[in-house]
Amino acid sequence: MDDKGYTLLEAMFQLVVFVLISHLFVLVILWFAEMKSTVLSDEQTKWELFVSDLNHALQDVSTFSVRADYKRMTFQTANTLHHIDCYSNIIREQVNGGHVPMLIGLNRCQFNYTENMLTVAVEMASGVQKERSFYVPIIEK
């Protein structure tokens, strides 16, 4: 600003700076809303942890079967017999007589096994449907 007052050039410069900052602010708000709905989803986190646990459990399998109603799978690893089944609104693992919840808050779930491929399909309590396929390597000894 000079002694003669506020110039048109100064006003245009301040307007450009304001527009740039407001666009940046809008982009940050939109990005945060997107991240909140995808990255921080509680159901997504539970699902990915379940997938990781199941993938780890399916290592070194010697026998594998799925019950006719597609609600229970049974497999043998080393000296342990594992049962993973859909029970009420959870997927739980039964090992040595104990129960370990693997995924909770489900409306329905189903296991399908064909040609060494296991497909797990679930419907979460919110209505979101998830499905993942796993390769089950059968180790014959």
Q: Which of 19-23, 76-80, 111-115, 137-141 has the lowest mean pLDDT?
A: 137-141
| 111 pLDDT more than 70 | yes
Q: pLDDT tens digits for 16-30?
A: 999 999 999 999 999
DSSP output for 29-79? HHHHHHHHHHTT-HHHHHHHHHHHHHHHHTTTEEEEEE-TTSSEEEEEETT
pLDDT of residue 1: 52
* pTM listed for this prediction: 0.72
| pLDDT, average across residues 108-130 | 93
pLDDT of residue 139: 82
Report the alpha-carbon distance of residue 2 to residue 42 in Å, rounded: 57
